[in-house]
Amino acid sequence: MKYVVIFKAHINILDDDYFQTVHLLREKALNNFNCQKFEAISEQGLEIALSYWNSLEDIQAWKTDSEHIAAQRQGKERWYDVFEIEICEILNRH
Q: Which of 68, 67, 76, 7 is closest to 42 using CA atoms?
A: 7
Residue 90 lies in a domain: no
Are 40 and 49 in contact by the 8 Å Cβ rule? The answer is yes
Q: Which domain holds residue 12?
A: 3-47+54-82
The string of pLDDT tens digits covering residues 53-94 is 999 999 999 999 999 999 999 999 999 999 999 999 999 989
User: Does the predicted model carry a pTM greater than 0.85?
Assistant: yes
Q: Which amino acid is at 70?
A: A
Which residues sit opposite 51 in a β-bridge?
Answer: 5, 38
* Mean pLDDT confidence for 23-41: 98
Q: How confident is the model at residue 1 (pLDDT cuts 50, 70, 90)?
A: confident
Residue 76 lies in a domain: yes
Number of compact structural domains in the chain: 1
Q: Which helix (H) or strand (E) holds 17?
A: helix 16-32
Residue 74 lies in a domain: yes
Q: Angle at the Cα of 35 (from 72 to 46), degrees rounded to 5?
A: 45
Share of the chain above pLDDT 70, in %: 100
Residue 91 lies in a domain: no
